[in-house]
Structures are given as C-alpha cells and as structure tokens.
Structure 1
Amino acid sequence: MAGNLLQIGTSGLQAYQRALNTTGHNIANVNTPGYSRQEAVFTTAQEQRIANYYQGSGVFVEDIRRFASQFVINQLRQDTSTHSQLSSFDLNIRQLDSLLADETTGLNVGLDKFFNALQAASENPTSIPARQLVLTEASGLASRFTTVQSTMESQNRAINQEIEALVEQVNSLAAGVAELNRQIVTQQGSGGDPNDLLDKRDELLRQLSEIVSVQVIEQDDNTLNVFIGKGQSLVVGVSANNLSTLPAKTESAGVNIVLQGTEQVLDNQITGGMLGGLLDYRDNILQPAFNNLGLVALAVGKTVNDQQRMGLDLSSSFGGRIFNDVNDRQATLDRVTASPNNTPPVDRVISISIDDVQSLKATNYTVEFIDNSTFTIRRDSDNSIALQASLSGLFPETVEVDGMRITFEAGSFQRGDEFFLEPTRNAASEFEVEMNDPRELAFAAAIRTQTSTTNQGTGSISQGDVFQVYDAETGNFLPAFATSGQLTPPLIIRFTTPTTYDVLDNSDPSNPKQLDPPIRNQVFIPGSPKDVFTLDQEQTIASSQARGTGDVGLVSAPVTVALPAVPNPVNGYSAQTITVSNRDPDTGIVTTSTVNTLANATAQEIANQLSQVDGVSANAFNQVEITNIIGGSGAAIELSINGESLTNSALGTVPVPDVDPLKNEDYIQVLADRINNNGNLTNQGIYAVVSETPGAPPVPTLKIYATTGVDLDVQMTADAADSFVVSNGQTGAALSTQTLTGSGPANATAVTIGGSLDVTMAEGVSFRTTPFVSSIFGDTSSFSFAKSSFKGFQVTLQGRPEANDTFTIDFNENGTSDNRNGFKMANLATQKTILGGTASYSEGYGQLVEFIGVNASQARIDLDASEALLNQTVSLRNSDSGVNMDEEAANLIRFQQAYNASAQVINVAREIFDTLLNAF
C-alpha cells in the first residue's frame, strides 16, 4: 500500500512540476511576439483493480495545450496586411500631397507670377524692366517644375529601393517558414505538437503579411503552404520559392517583382502589406502624377513658345523660344523605349513629336507589332486601342494619335516587337528657360491691316490675327513669312460688288494680281462678320485653266441668225469624269466619289455637282468685258445679256453710241444700270460696273460679272458700221476676245463665254479627271495642280462695304508699341488649352492636386478604420492566446501548493514504508 501511495505522490510531483514549468514558460514569454499561452492538461493515471474494487494510481500530464484560434490567427494576418498596405500608401501620398499643394513648392503660384508679368509687360511693351521681369518669373516657373519633378523622382527611387529590400525580406521569411515546416514535421513524428515552433511559424507568417498579403493552406502533415498574388506559391512544404526584382519596361517605371527564374511580372497581382501599398501608390498615384505634371509642362512650354514665335520682337524679327523646344530631336527620341525582347537587329527608330497639347493625354502607350507591318497603339491608362495601322515600309511614316505625331523613321520592324511610349513622363524635368534677352520677347503681331481712305462704304477690317508662322512638319517659315521683314505677298481685298470680293497680290499696288491659288469671287453678307482665310492647314485649291485656254472662258465664235430666231452659241466645255478621293486623316481609309459632267455644262452646274461631295466646295464665277464700242451708223445698238434686253426703249431713253469709243461712257453707264436693275439678271448673280482699260488713252469699258458662274451670252443687233469687242477679261490669252459687228436690223449676232471654277478641298481630299489632262482643269495629275490656300493668319471683314472698296494686309514693320501678341501670350493663362479643351494650365494642375488630395484623404480614413480593426483583432488574440500575469501568478501558487502536497504524500508513503520495515 505504501508503494501505491508513493507512486501516486510521485505522479503528482511530476505532473505539477510540468505544470509549474509550463506556467513559468508562460511568464517568461509574456513579451515574446507571437507567443501563445500554454496549459498543462492533467489526466488521471490508469486505475488498478484490487480485490473487487479499483484503486486510483495518480495523475499525469497528457498534453501541453496551446491556446490559439486559427480563425483569429488568419484574421490577424489579414488585418495586419491591410493595415500595412494602407499605412505605406498613406505615408507616401501625404508627402506628395504636401509637395503639390504647398504654395512654396507647388506650381500655381509660379504660373500666376509668370502670366501676371506677361500681362504687365504687354501693357507697356517697350519697357525693358517689365520684359526682364517676365524672364525672371519664367525662370522661377521652370525651377518649380524641376523641383517638383526632382522630389517626385527621389520618392520614386526610394520606393523602388524599398521594394527591393522588402523582396529580400519576403525571401528570408519564406525560407524561415519552410524551415519551420521541416522542424515541425520532424518533431511531430515523435508525437505531440511543438507549440513553440508553431508560434514561431505563425509569427513569421504575420511578419510576412506585414509585407504582402498571403494565403495559407494547412496540409495533412501539419505543414503550411503559402501563396501570394493570384496563387503564386511562395512556400510549398519544406521548400521556399524566391521572389526577385527586374528592371521594368522603362527606366522611369523602376522595378518589377517576379518569381525567381521566371519573367512573370507579379506587380498587378500582389496586394496587401507594405509591398502592396508601395506598388499601388507607385503605379496608380505617382506614375500618373508624373504624366499629369509633364502634361502641364508640355502645354505651357509649347503653347507659350508657339505664341511667342508668331510675334515680332523689338527688332521686328519673329520671336525665339522662351522655354526649351518640346520637340527637340533628342526629346522626341527619348519618349520611346524599345523592349529588350525585340528581335535583333536593334535598328528600329521611332520618335514622338507633340503637335496638339489640347488633344494630348496624360498616359503612356504601348506599340505592339501584330505582324511585320501591322501594329497597334494601346493606351496604358485604360488598356484601350488608340490606333491600329500598317507600315508600307517607305520610311519615314507618320501616324497621329492623341495630339502626338509618331514617326517610324527606320528599321526592320517585326512581329512581336514592342515599344513603350512616354510622351509626357519626363517633360517637367526638361522644362527650362532658353531666352536671356528681354528684347527678344515678341509682343507685336506680325501683320497689320489698313482701310483705304477712298472707300465709299462702312466696311471695316480687323487688325489681323496670326495663328501660325512655321510649317508644323518641316519647321520652315510658311510662304507668307518666308522673306524677312515682309509679308509675301502683301495683300489687298477688293470688293467687286457690295457682296463679293477678291483677295489679290498687292506687290504692285498699281496693278494687283490674282493669287496662286486664287481667292476670288468670295461671298460677303453685309452686316455679318466674314473670316477671309481658312484655318485648315491642309486645305488646297484647284482652279480651272486660265481663261481663254483649253475650253475655259473662251469667247465663242460669233453666231449670226435672222430674227426672230435666237442665236444659240455654246461654251464648248467637254464632258468630264472627275474622281474625288478622300483619305480619312485618322484611319487612313480612302473613299472615292465620281462626278460626271455633261458637255457644255456651265461652271455653275459643274460647281454644284462637285460641292455635293464631302470635303469639296466649288466656287464658280464668270466675267466679260465689252469695250471699244463704235456706233458708226449713228443708230442705237441693241444689246442683250442672257436674253435680257438692255436697250429696250420701254425702259427709258438710251444714248446713241458715238463713233469714237472714248465718248461712249454715258452709253456704257446706262447699260450697267440696266444690268444692275434687272431682277432676272440679279437672280443669276450678274452685275456690272463701268471701268476703263489700262493705258492711254483709257477706253470706257463695261465689265459684267456672274458670281454664280452661269454662262454669259452677249447678243447684239446693229448696222454693219456698228461694232464692239467682247473679252473674257484675260486679254492676250488664246480665244480671249471676239469683235461683234452688226449684220443689219434683221439679224442678231451673239457669243457665249463660259465660267471658271475654284475647287476648295479639305484635308485629305484630292481629285483627278479621266484622262488626267482635262480641257477645263489642265493636268490634274500634276503635283502643283492643287495648291495650299493656308496663310497662317486671319482677318475679319464687317460692315457694309461698296464696290471698289479696298483693304490692305501687310507686314507689321517697326510695330514696337504693338502688344497684340503679348496679350495673347498673357491670355493663355485662362484659355482651355489641355485635357481636350476643358482646362487651363492651372485647372489641369488643380485637377492633379485634387486627385492626390482626394486619394490622400481617403487613404487616411481607410487607415484609421484598418487600425481600429487591427487593434480589435489584436485584443481578441490577446484575450485568447495572450499571457495573463495575474492568472499565471495564481496558477503558480496553485501548482506550487499541489507540488508541495504531492511531496508530502511521498513523505507519508516513505514513513509508512519505514514503519512496515521496522515491524519485521
């Protein structure tokens, strides 16, 4: 019996010693991260049968139980990952928000100072100090751009360095988890759970979740497999896979995270933890901020430079650039990065020029070749295809996308080739001031206009507005400004009627000539403003041949018939087949339309047919001059135009023409008045003016115009001694004149003059005749057949001018006090120059600041919420798994007492055993 009591006492002693050890272990690890409270689990020993009953044999510790809820552990990892991500994101975005919004570092103050200085200098354009202030503020603005960009670049580098360091930590922690898996499997083979190793493994996983969100799956052997992203394995059993970093597709993009040994980029798949926060901030906040900042820099630099170069400086020279050229050769090349995976040879050359900042988007692009010629251009911001096109192989080839001109200059482009385009990314770092002489600021406009002092009407002309001086593709001066200090040619606007005008070459003011291509017979509505020139840089004008050549405007051979029959001469125009081609500037698709004209069709009819085609506007007109009128018979000459009698006595007395042509001005004036008062002729656009032939002596002349391009039929009935000359207004050309001589009062003699056409074609439109050489248009295949009508400037006519009123346009030489161009530069501050014409520079920058601010505010809200959730989960874990010192102290006393009592049981057993021995 003493032996059984000894066994019981010994079992208690051992059991409570283990309980004390466990309690001591808890107390010792009260501050150990990740430690879970442990508890000794007591179980009674196997009882023994004695006679007809069972006798207890003591106690033993069946297990050391670990207090850990897998649900709470998983929730802690998840909340830790979320909080770490938001904390990392918040830390970085607050720095950027402070940088952009602060008045001492942001752009708005710099923009305001620069444009205010421009405004002040424009108000006093000859002031050198005011001009110098403009350059000073320009330097300040450039400094702000570069400072903001530099600070953002520093943050970008720091983020990428931190990403690389965190990747190393992930690899270290993953290796630690794999090693603990091995140790746990080994120790569990001997039975029981290695609680401390389980805690260490959970703590490593918690630390791992601080860096990246992980998915953990427990296996049958109690190992844990760890996955990141979208199922990429980090730990499988006792093996760990390593992450690594590789340079991203462009240097500015930093580094990409990949599984070591592969090129699978995980950036878009990794979430949670500090890595997720850094990647989210870098790719979705910082990189777009670079692009938006660069967009503003490009917009300011290009639009200010462009406007400055349209004006004249104090030496009457066109202005140079204030800021650096956004399309500098090196800049156009630096915007393109070729993929290192492109097939050799590395000979492809692509450049990007910024043409239209209003259409420019703050995004990067990817060019991918589907085959050796077909490629797509995809926007990175929304993954949409901006353009799909093909190369012909005849370099250079250019496409236009989102305000950019992308030029494929040379190289063996092949299927699978990729190129990464960053049109705005680095623009702010390149923003600098080039100009250092304030006299070079071009505040004066390049043209000036003048109204003739002899004008009879109330018409007026605007001062003139220059909107382009240089060719966008070549960079050369437009023809109008190609000669230094001159407008080539100077122009005069002459009203042929109160409702029509011509624009003429005024190089010789005594003899203005038609332009090439001509701008004539233009319609003006009195009282309504009318812009004189086109704004379409690609617009061209093709004209019919010179009057009197081919079929155009010839004066037909006189036809004489006996009255009452009516002579029926024709204009002699041949039938035409005209093919109009229209190339869409965005897609490159060419569509064609065919126009078939009839023989002897009037210029008006041909113009109407052509004007039905998209992109084509045809203007028809006609003219005839009647001069050298000889009234040798002393009787009246009966004259009609297009069947309308001008000498009908019922309309009033008509002077008898004199035998001397110089004395027939009164007769001609009556004819002109009859034409201008004839409603039927007016409806056909026919009017007349009295003029004189050039030279000495000047001969009175009746000039008849048809603004609609109808044929002009001139018919006379007179005696044989009467005659006059009919001309098409182009004396000297073949078939340009005919002399009509009377055939007696019983006969009528007539000629017909056909009209001319000017065909205006929009960008991408051209036409050809079949055959190419047309009797009306000449050689339509000639390179010079259709010529640009773009001048680069604009003037506006208003009021109510009269026939023969004139307005001149010339170079603004010595316009030092002119400030029109200066005000245009100053007004750029408030113009909607970017983001599709919806925002000014400041508004565009403000949208960037707002975007960052909103995200920063939301990040702070999310961070506070995640911190509350994390604290709640930590409290829950502590309540379940944490060591409670009061409880452990109580356990220590309780187990110590039990231990002492067990020792006393052993003493009693020993005394009983001694008593038994002494009894024998």
Structure 2
Amino acid sequence: MVIRTADLFSVATSGLRASNQLLDTTGHNIANVNTEGFVRERTTFATQVIGGVGRATTERIINVFAQNQLRRDTTSVGEHEAYYNRASTLDDLFASEANSISNSMSRFFGSLQTASDEPTNMAARQLVLGEANSLVGQIGTLAGFLEAKEKEFNLEMESLIERANTLIENIADLNGQIRTLKANNRFDEPGAVMNERDQAVMELAELLSIETRENGTGDGSLMINLTSGESLVLEDGSFNLFQLGGNPDLNYKSLMLDSTGKPTALRLAETDVGGTIGGLFRYRDEILEPAQRELGQIALSLTAAMNEQNRLGMDFDLQLGGDIFGLPTFSGLPYQDNADTSLVMNGRVAPDGASSLTSADYQITIDAVNPGAPNQVDITVTLLNPDGTQVEDASGNPITQSYTNIEATAGVFSPVLGGIEVEFPNGASYTAGDQFLLQPTKETADEIEVVMTRPEDLALASPFRVDSDLANTGDVQLVSTTVTNTTVDGTLTDPDASAFDGAGGLVAGTPARIVFNSATEFEVFDEANNSLVVVTGVTDYNNMMAQAAAAAGWPFGGLNDFPGYDFSMQGTPKVGDSFTIAYNTDGVNDNRNALELADLQNRDIMSSSNSSSANQITFHEGYANIVSDIGEKTSRADIALQAAEAMKKQSSDWFDSISGVNLDEEAANLVRFQQTYAASARILTAAQTIFDTILNSTR
C-alpha cells in the first residue's frame, strides 16, 4: 500500500504548475506553426510517490528515420535541380535555330558551291569570305557564352562552398551550446537550439550528401560525415572545411577538404559529393566542359580542313593557295609541381591535323632532357578527359604515346598524336618529370579569325592539269585528278616536298609526261624527256602516279608524298599514246578545288569523340551530336528531378505528420489543459475552504 504524505494544497499547487507548463508548451507549438525547421514539443510528467505531479520533462517529438529520409531526399532534389536548371539553359541555347552554327556552316558551304559554278566571279568569291566571317562570328558567340557559363559556375561554386563552410562552423558551434545546456539542465531538451542545428544540417544536406550520428556520450551533439566517409564535424567539436583549387587549370575548380591538424588538403571526387554542389560539378563535367571542347573541335577541325584544302589549290593569281583562317597557338599550362613553373611549352594544330584532332586535353610529360646542339627532350603525350582522367581506347587502354629526341628550340614544332604540334622553346631548362596541360579545343574557338582578305586568294582551281596528245590513237581519257601535297622545296631535300615549285610551275626533273608502251606498260618522263621510271604489269589506269611511285627504280623514294598529285584514266591506250603533266597555267576557269572545298561538308573528317581512334563524322554530325547529347541529358535530368521531388514530398509529409504542428490537435490540447488548470484551481479553492473552516472551528 502506497502512503501519500502530500497535503491537498500541495497536490493542487503541483497540478496548477503542471497545467500551466502544458499550456506553455502548447502555446509555444501554436506560436511556431509557421517557423521553418520548428519541431513540435511535448511535456511529460512523473507522478510523485508522496502525491501530486512530479518533475516535468520537455522534449521534441521527432522520428529520426523520417528526418534522415527527408534529409536524403532533400540532397537528391538539390543535386537534380542544380543539374537540370543549368543543363536546360545550354539545351535552349544549342537547340535554338538562331544560335545554331549548323545553319552558318550550310550558308558557308553553299557560298562555296555558288563560287564553284562561276570561279571567275569576284562577287561570288567575296560572298565566300563574308560567310566565313559570319561562321567564325557565330562560333565565337557560342564559345563566348560557354566561357561566361564557366565563369558563372566558378563564382556560384565559391559562394556555395562559403555557405557550406559557414554551416559547418555553425553546426559545430551549436553542438557546443547544446552540450552546455544539456549539462546544466538534464530534464529539458534545448529545443530551440536543436531546431536551429537541425535546420542548419538540412541546409547543408541540400548542398552536400551527408550522414549524421549522435555522439555516443549522450550530450546531444551530432557528428557529420560526407556519405563518401570524410568527416566534416568531429566528435571532439572540431571541424573540417572545403576549399577550391585548380592544377594546372586555375579555371577548372577542384574540391578539396582541409583536414584539421594536417598540412595538406584532401582531394574529393566532386561529382560524388551530391547535393547542389555535386549537381553543379556533374553539370560542369558532363555537359559544360564537353560542350566547350566539342564546339572547339568542330571550329578547329573545320577551319584547319579548309586551310588544308585551299593550300592544295591554285588562286586567281595562278599561285598556290594559302590559309583562309588564322588558327591560334595555345599555351601549355604548367603543373604546380614543376621544377620551374615559369617555363613554357606551346602547341598548335598540325597543318594536316584536321582529321586527327580530338576534343581531349593533352598532358605532356617531360621524360628526359638531352642537352646539345640542338637541345632535345623525350616526352610522353597522354589524352585526358575534362575531369583529368585518361581517355581510353575501345579496349580500355589509356591513349598515350612516347616520343624521343624532340627538338627543344623556339619556333620548332614537332607533330604528336591527336593532330597537334608541340614546341619547347626553353631548350635544356626543362626537368624530367615536368608536366604541361594543353587544351586545344577548350578556349580557342573564339580566337579563330578569317585572315584572307582578297577574294582572288581563294584557291578554286587545281594547280596541275593533264593534257592528252593530239596524236593519240587510243580512247584513254582522264576521269579524275587529286592533289594531296603542295609543300614547296625546289631542292627536294625536305621529305615532305612536292613537285610544285611555288612559282607557277613544277620542279625540274619531276614527272612531266607519261607514254604508253603497251596496254600494260607506261613510262614516266621529266620535262627534259629523261625517263624516270617504267611501270609494267599495269592492270588498270587508276592512280597513275601511285603506280609509278610503287615501281622499281622510282627516283623519289625518299619523299613521303611525291609528286603530291595523282590522276586516273579509263579506256584502252595504244602504243605511243602520251599525256602531258603541267602546272595549270591560265586555269582560272578551273573549279576542281572549289568542288573539293564545297564537298568538305559531306566528308567524314572529324573525330566523333575524344579518342584518336574514334570513327570519323561530318561537321554537321559533330554539331548534331552536341545538341542531341545535351538534349538527352537534360531530358533525363528533368525526369530524375520530378522523381526526386515526389520522393521528397512523401518524406516531408511523413516527417511533418510526426514532428509538424497540427493546429487541430494543439487546439484540443489547449482546451484539455485549460480544463485541468481549472480543475486544479478548484482543488486549491476547496483546500482553502477546508483550511478556513478548520481555523474557524478552533476560534
């Protein structure tokens, strides 16, 4: 049997205090119904053995599982929303007809087709240059927009990282306050401070994918880690902060974590951190950076191919063609660990690099330095993705190539893989292990310019012709001609030399005439009627110069692509039939090279990816790939965002059903607690009446 020793007055007084505290808690809940992050509170009491109401305990009503699910879904929405919003901006840009460079390319090649119809029409030639300027301007506008988006990304990322660091510091500070308050009052939770901390954690979860766990000591503090395992808020109250860096590209921000008590920063996998920050990094690496490079690849491949083909033709002044477009030289970015970061190396698109150029970056590693006359270096070239990982071929192997004895002299460019040439102007000053990063296609698209100003300089004609002798009795006819090399070297000591002398003629001693000795044999003579080679076993008359170069006794075997032209015939020759090969003097009405220039839009010239072994595609297909790739990723991001928002709505409803303030419930509690307060007051009144009666009876 329990013996209660409390008097009626004490019981009533404790009841009044309890009801008043319940009314305070209910009023507090109602007053904060619209306060973001507020978790409703509940006050409970213990019954005293001696009678009356015991000590009160006020705590928050919260389901940790619902809270964690809401936090995870908030992270997911933050990531997909950041990704989709930025991706949709680029999708709108590239899908717009007004911004499309595909239309500009079509107009440019259309003007070339018009010029090929009338190669002597100066107005048609001038239109080609006008459309070239328009095309370059359109590419530059797109490239400038993408560059502005990169700067915008970096500014936004700096702001988000600053916000994340502020939240981390705030959470660590609130942990300290909670520890102190709980130590001073172990019966009441510091609800306001804990709500503030939970709200800060939720805001941090929107920025990053995090996990939380309570300190095992029961002091109310939370430890926070990234889901990848790195600690942000530690058990001892310390914390780690984020920072941004870039090596060697200062504009390509890397995410790092400054670890407490350690001198170095920990590099994080940016696309794995989740939340708004992870979504933005994914957008940069999956859409923005590839789009920059693929646009640059189209611009450089197209203009380089036009230059190559124009150099293979003859202009209106009967001279070999020159460059239509001026292509930029790009500087290698030195890595921070280089022995001397002031040293430079440069690159440019190779004269014949249009079809080999990729959208990849190029990492150049100095393997050895060989001082001498001239100075030389051994290097390794590795293709990199925008995020710094190595590009792999179809078999999964990194695409890399080593080169030895590369001349390290200012002004000397040496070809490497991927359609570029590299220059090492600092001679023997480099150190083994030094690395440089070349980004040919990232920021060069808006640096291309039209350098040709005279319409006469368009090389619409072919620089050579083949004429049949009037005395020929066979029916062999010329069906096609090709020019592959116009490199000028009258001494023929350059292995890349052609038969063109650069002065409106062919080099002396080179092929000038072919004579059929039979249907299966022809002989090649120079301009002085000296026999150069006899070709036997002829089965067809395609690529006559290639057949001559493959025959025994060809006197130009040390040259790579000689004479630089070729032609094919069909029909049946008679003995003695001859054909003269000559420079195309007075051939201003010739449009053979104009047709080749116009046909570049239909040729598979450009690499389809950042792999040097990828399939070749047309320029229009290259641009279509950019548009479709961005559109596909934007569409998938939209679907993912809608799914994430639906999940967040469910988890938010679940969390609010437990921790949110329900006004109907609180109103009912208010009535109930008012009644208990009134009842306790009646008990107190009764106790007073009894006490007064007892006093009066003793008088």
User: TM above 0.5, one fold?
Assistant: yes
- Is contact 1:295–1:427 with CA below 8 Å preserved after alignment? no
Q: Does 1:119 align with 2:116?
A: no
Q: Deviations over 1:135-185 (max 9, x none)?
A: 221111111101101111111101110100111101100011101111111
Q: Deviations over 1:662-698 (max 9, x none)?
A: xxxxxxxxxxxxxxxxxxxxxxxxxxxxxxxxxxxxx
Residue 797 of structure 1: SS of its match in structure 2?
A: strand
User: Does the C-alpha gap of structure 1 residues 436 and 407 become closer, same or farther in structure 2, counting only changes over 3 Å?
Assistant: closer
Q: Deviations over 1:620-672 (max 9, x none)?
A: xxxxxxxxxxxxxxxxxxxxxxxxxxxxxxxxxxxxxxxxxxxxxxxxxxxxx
Q: Deviations over 1:819-862 (max 9, x none)?
A: 11111111111111112453100001101111111000000000
The aligned residue for residue 193 of structure 2 is 197
Query: Match for 2:517 among 496, 499, 504?
Result: 496
CA distance in 2, matches of 1:418, 1:227: 35
Residue 522 of structure 1, CA deviation: 4.4
- Is contact 2:132–2:450 with CA below 8 Å preserved after alignment? yes
The aligned residue for residue 361 of structure 2 is 364
> Quick one: which amino acid aligns to residue 801 of structure 1?
P
Residue 388 of structure 1, CA deviation: 4.1
- Is contact 2:495–2:559 with CA below 8 Å preserved after alignment? no
> Quick one: which amino acid aligns to residue 445 of structure 1?
S
- Is contact 1:307–1:824 with CA below 8 Å preserved after alignment? yes
Query: Match for 2:145 among 139, 146, 151?
Result: 151
The aligned residue for residue 445 of structure 2 is 428
Q: Does 1:805 align with 2:577?
A: yes
Residue 248 of structure 1, CA deviation: 4.1
Q: Does 1:8 align with 2:6?
A: no
CA distance in 2, matches of 1:483, 1:847: 40
- Is contact 1:299–1:834 with CA below 8 Å preserved after alignment? yes
Moved more, 142-151 or 467-476: 467-476
The aligned residue for residue 232 of structure 1 is 230
Identity %: 32
Larger Rg: 1
The aligned residue for residue 139 of structure 1 is 133
The aligned residue for residue 419 of structure 1 is 436
CA distance in 1, matches of 2:172, 2:437: 39
Query: Match for 1:903 among 656, 659, 681?
Result: 681
The aligned residue for residue 379 of structure 1 is 383
Query: Pairwise mapping of residues 446-485 of structure 1 onto structure 2 (< 5 A)?
Result: 446-462=463-479, 464-470=481-487, 478-485=497-504
- Is contact 2:463–2:584 with CA below 8 Å preserved after alignment? yes
The aligned residue for residue 216 of structure 1 is 212
Residue 186 of structure 1: SS of its match in structure 2?
A: helix
> Quick one: which amino acid aligns to residue 21 of structure 2?
R
The aligned residue for residue 294 of structure 1 is 296
Residue 346 of structure 1, CA deviation: 3.9
Residue 106 of structure 1, CA deviation: 1.6
CA distance in 2, matches of 1:9, 1:884: 30
Residue 358 of structure 1, CA deviation: 2.0
Moved more, 73-82 or 398-407: 398-407
The aligned residue for residue 65 of structure 1 is 59
Query: Pairwise mapping of residues 770-919 of structure 1 onto structure 2 (< 5 A)?
Result: 786=558, 790-835=562-607, 836=614, 838-919=616-697
CA distance in 2, matches of 1:166, 1:523: 75
Q: Deviations over 1:524-553 (max 9, x none)?
A: 22xx33212249xxxx97xxxxxxxxxxxx
User: Does the C-alpha gap of structure 1 residues 856 and 234 become closer, same or farther in structure 2, counting only changes over 3 Å?
Assistant: same
> Quick one: which amino acid aligns to residue 135 of structure 1?
L
Residue 93 of structure 2: SS of its match in structure 1?
A: helix
The aligned residue for residue 682 of structure 1 is none
What is the number of residues matched between the two proteins?
656
> Quick one: which amino acid aligns to residue 239 of structure 1?
S
Q: Deviations over 1:5-48 (max 9, x none)?
A: 1111111101011101110111111111111111111332223x
Residue 264 of structure 1: SS of its match in structure 2?
A: strand
Q: Does 1:24 align with 2:27?
A: yes
Backbone CA RMSD of aligned residues: 2.7
CA distance in 2, matches of 1:178, 1:831: 62
Residue 64 of structure 1: SS of its match in structure 2?
A: strand
Residue 471 of structure 1, CA deviation: 6.6
Query: Pairwise mapping of residues 239-278 of structure 1 onto structure 2 (< 5 A)?
Result: 239-254=238-253, 256-259=255-258, 262-268=264-270, 270-278=272-280
Residue 413 of structure 1, CA deviation: 3.7
Q: Does 1:521 align with 2:538?
A: no
The aligned residue for residue 372 of structure 2 is none
Residue 606 of structure 2: SS of its match in structure 1?
A: coil
User: Does the C-alpha gap of structure 1 residues 256 and 63 become closer, same or farther in structure 2, counting only changes over 3 Å?
Assistant: closer
Greater helix proportion: 2
Residue 405 of structure 1, CA deviation: 3.3
- Is contact 2:366–2:380 with CA below 8 Å preserved after alignment? yes
- Is contact 2:13–2:684 with CA below 8 Å preserved after alignment? yes
- Is contact 1:12–1:60 with CA below 8 Å preserved after alignment? no
The aligned residue for residue 400 of structure 1 is 416
Residue 306 of structure 1, CA deviation: 1.4
Query: Match for 1:163 among 153, 157, 167?
Result: 157
User: Does the C-alpha gap of structure 1 residues 87 and 269 become closer, same or farther in structure 2, counting only changes over 3 Å?
Assistant: closer
> Quick one: which amino acid aligns to residue 360 of structure 1?
L
Q: Deviations over 1:784-807 (max 9, x none)?
A: xx4556111111132221222110
CA distance in 1, matches of 2:449, 2:257: 38
Residue 341 of structure 1: SS of its match in structure 2?
A: coil
Moved more, 242-251 or 394-403: 394-403
CA distance in 2, matches of 1:759, 1:816: 32
Residue 351 of structure 1, CA deviation: 2.9
CA distance in 1, matches of 2:407, 2:584: 42
Residue 348 of structure 1, CA deviation: 5.1
CA distance in 2, matches of 1:59, 1:65: 18
Query: Pairwise mapping of residues 666-685 of structure 1 onto structure 2 (< 5 A)?
Result: none
- Is contact 2:401–2:417 with CA below 8 Å preserved after alignment? no
> Quick one: which amino acid aligns to residue 391 of structure 1?
T
> Quick one: which amino acid aligns to residue 209 of structure 1?
A
The aligned residue for residue 93 of structure 1 is 87
CA distance in 2, matches of 1:476, 1:104: 47
Q: Deviations over 1:181-231 (max 9, x none)?
A: 111111221313322222221111100011111122322133222122632
User: Does the C-alpha gap of structure 1 residues 414 and 160 become closer, same or farther in structure 2, counting only changes over 3 Å?
Assistant: same
Residue 795 of structure 1: SS of its match in structure 2?
A: strand
- Is contact 2:345–2:436 with CA below 8 Å preserved after alignment? no
The aligned residue for residue 338 of structure 1 is 334
- Is contact 2:334–2:341 with CA below 8 Å preserved after alignment? no
Q: Deviations over 1:427-456 (max 9, x none)?
A: 311122222222222211111110111112
CA distance in 1, matches of 2:405, 2:461: 45
Greater strand proportion: 1
The aligned residue for residue 313 of structure 1 is 315
Residue 66 of structure 1, CA deviation: 1.2
- Is contact 1:448–1:809 with CA below 8 Å preserved after alignment? yes
User: Does the C-alpha gap of structure 1 residues 416 and 900 become closer, same or farther in structure 2, counting only changes over 3 Å?
Assistant: farther
Residue 83 of structure 1, CA deviation: 0.5
For structure 1, the 5+ residue unaligned runs are 48-56, 542-616, 620-756, 762-785
Residue 667 of structure 2: SS of its match in structure 1?
A: helix
User: Does the C-alpha gap of structure 1 residues 400 and 103 become closer, same or farther in structure 2, counting only changes over 3 Å?
Assistant: same
Residue 253 of structure 1: SS of its match in structure 2?
A: coil
For structure 2, the 5+ residue unaligned runs are 370-376, 393-397, 608-613
The aligned residue for residue 181 of structure 1 is 175
User: Does the C-alpha gap of structure 1 residues 286 and 911 become closer, same or farther in structure 2, counting only changes over 3 Å?
Assistant: same
Query: Match for 2:203 among 202, 207, 228?
Result: 207
- Is contact 2:407–2:414 with CA below 8 Å preserved after alignment? no
